[in-house]
A and B are shown apart, each in its own frame.
Chain A
Amino acid sequence: MHPAYSVIFFTTASGAGLGLLVWLGLANAFSYLPADASFVLISVALALALLSVGLLSSTFHLGRPDRAWRAFSQWRSSWLSREGVAAAATYLPAIIFAFGWYKTGEGAGIVAIPGLVMAVLALVTLFTTGMIYGSLPTIRQWKQALTAPNYIVMGLASGAVLLTFLLALFATVPVWAIWLAIVSLTLAWAMKTLYWMAIHNEEPRYTIGEATGLGRFGEVRQLDPPHTAANFVMREMGYSVARKHANKIRRLSVLTAFVAPAVFTVIMLVAGPVLNLFLAALAVLLAGIGLVMERWLFFAEAEHVSMLYYGRERA
């Protein structure tokens, strides 16, 4: 599948923003956040900014961005529409939550409720993003039980790393936040590894003989493609650049997205506040780059069943 660069950027940026909202809402409910309204205001603002930048960039891959508003209408059947609705709905409790902190200077009682609603909606949005891909039976590598959970844990892990950075900006990073980042990074790493094992070990599901229905007469080979130059379907669905380097990119993305940020976060357990800020910033940067690579690979490794008509033997 052709990686739409704006979609890769969107899911990475908004994923981190949504993950941050989940942790802010939950940590607030347990009274773990620093008693500083400006911390919450800036954190929520950053999360919403990431979400907005992501949503905005996702419209760049549309043929008609001016009509993007129509995508909110078909939530009854379309996961893409549900994602739009859930993402838009997340703004309201997030703004109320931030406003509550601004007015009362604390997150207890009535402010905790919109915080929890915000966390739930952010989680739902992450799930809907994953289901856009996880619900497509035409792409074996996407129609996996682990696809949607992966989108959730990637968002939670990058959100947790972002949270340690914000905490380091405002105060000393509490131990719970450091452990939160370490655990969620480890979980994300484990889930991604399981996903890669699943798609690697699974046999392709369909053959060119099944797609054409001609397999009963013998082995089917493409003689002539329909046109001399690549058409839209081949450009969009047949993209395989970098597939042969998949293992290298996997290792590199694991190193930058999970291992390096986790190591930096572990060091934060013993380092001082200045070093912590530096380490947290580095962890955010590397996790971002690593997740962009991971997402690019998610597209490049995906094989579409329609390519069977264009001579691929199995998909």
Chain B
Amino acid sequence: MTMLPETTAKKLGLVIDLDTCVGCQACATSCKEWNTGGYSAPLSDIDPYGRDPHGAWLNRIHSYEVGDGGASRTVNFPRSCLHCETPACVTVCPTGASYKREEDGIVLVDPDKCIGCKLCSWACAYGAREYDYIEGVMKKCTLCIDRIYNTNLQPEDRVPACVRACPTGARHFGDFGDPESNVSKLTKARGGYDLLPQMGFKPVNKYLPPRPKRDRVTLDDTSAAADRGPVSAEGSKLERLFQWADKMLTR
């Protein structure tokens, strides 16, 4: 049913820390690996070893350059379904294949009902819906619904595959409906924000902004940093020998 629930008992979602994400793509590959055998199976690929490889990926890692000069920074930006509170992708669905779960707020597609009209992908502002060209139906992040409630898994594995895979702890899973949950506290402490809040879809997933830069050298403008010259020659004789060799070789 594409009518939205008025409230959901839980608001399960992710916090993504843009400060610690290193853009390693582990979450994306882990997502693909799990979900091509899970609820969304298969996540078809087209021409995977050819000239124009593409396929359904539910999690994609963008990379942006922000700011200029010494103040510029690289921000790795994982993007997947935000499990919005008022998702337009659900209400536009003509078949009822798209729905938002009343119990935990997860937005899902029933692959047996989807007709592949792609209208939900037009309605999503975040480009989170991925059409499976071979199956002819829409695929999307399920928040690993087949992991988080799966009692056959060890308790520490009952989190989305992307969260489990992240080597830097940049992804956190929890209930935003509970103000005392890990994700609610983290969002509050770090100023977590919504993507495109103006559009009114009320995303559940939150992004933590990069922290202010601490390294003064990179903040100075480049000419001042150059004026300081090379680091002074101190330390052992061997170290000074290497520095002398470096100087000679530079000529």
Contact residues of A between 44 and 96, Cβ < 8 Å to B: 61-65, 67-68, 70-74, 76-81, 84
Using a Cβ cutoff of 8 Å, how many contacts connect chains A and B?
A: 200
A212 to B18, CA, bound (A): 11
B136 touches A138 (CB 8 A): no
Which parts of A113-132 form the interface with B (CB within 8 Å)?
Answer: 132
- A210 lies within 8 A of B115 (CB): no
- The answer to whether B60 and A231 have CB atoms under 8 Å apart is yes
Q: What's the minimum C-beta distance from B132 to chain A, rounded to whole angstroms?
A: 8
Q: Confirm or deny: B143 has a beta carbon within 8 angstroms of a beta carbon on chain A.
A: no
State whether B122 touches A136 (Cβ < 8 A): yes
Among A64, A76, A231, A309, the residue within 8 A (CB) of B54 is: A231
The yes or no answer to A202 lying at the interface (CB within 8 A) is: no
Among candidates B4, B52, B74, B123, residue contacting A223 with C-beta atoms closer than 8 Å: B74
Indicate which residue in B60, B65, B96 contacts A221 across the interface (CB closer than 8 Å): B65
Contact A229 B53 (CB under 8 A): yes
- A227 surroundings in chain B (CB, below 8 A): 54, 57, 60
Check if A1 is an interface residue, CB within 8 A of chain B: yes
Within 8 A of B (CB), among A285-314: 304-307, 309-310
Complex contact A212–B118 (CB within 8 A)? no
By the criterion of a CB under 8 Å from any partner CB, how many residues of chain B are at the interface? 71
Q: Which of B2, B114, B193, B198 contacts A77 (CB 8 A)?
A: B2
| Chain A residue with the shortest CB-CB distance to B111 | A64
Other-chain contact of B73, A77, A138, A206, A217 (Cβ < 8 Å):
A217
Q: Contact: B67 with A74, CB < 8 Å?
A: no
Interface of B is mostly: loop
Q: Does B119 contact A (CB under 8 A)?
A: yes
Interface residues of B in 28-71 (CB under 8 A from A): 28, 52-57, 60-68, 71
Whether a CB of chain A sits under 8 angstroms from the CB of B148 is no
Confirm or deny: A109 has a beta carbon within 8 angstroms of a beta carbon on chain B: no
| Contact with A138, one of B94, B97, B122 (Cβ below 8 angstroms) | B122
Task: Give the interface size bracket for A toward B.
Answer: 35 or more
Chain B 1-40: CB-based contact to A (< 8 A → 1; otherwise 0): 1111000000000000010000100001000000000000
Among candidates B55, B64, B68, residue contacting A212 with C-beta atoms closer than 8 Å:
B64
Given contacts A210-B196, A233-B121, 11 further A-B contacts (CB under 8 A): A61-B118, A63-B116, A65-B115, A67-B115, A136-B123, A137-B200, A214-B64, A214-B209, A220-B64, A222-B64, A229-B52
Closest 5 CB pairs of A and B: A63-B116, A63-B136, A218-B67, A306-B127, A226-B60
Interface residues of A (CB under 8 A from B): 1, 61-65, 67-68, 70-74, 76-81, 84, 132, 135-139, 206, 208, 210-214, 216-233, 235-237, 304-307, 309-310
Instruction: Return 19 A-B CB contacts under 8 Å, by A number.
Output: A64-B136, A68-B115, A77-B2, A78-B2, A78-B91, A138-B124, A206-B196, A213-B207, A214-B77, A217-B209, A219-B67, A220-B66, A224-B62, A229-B53, A229-B54, A233-B129, A237-B122, A305-B199, A306-B126
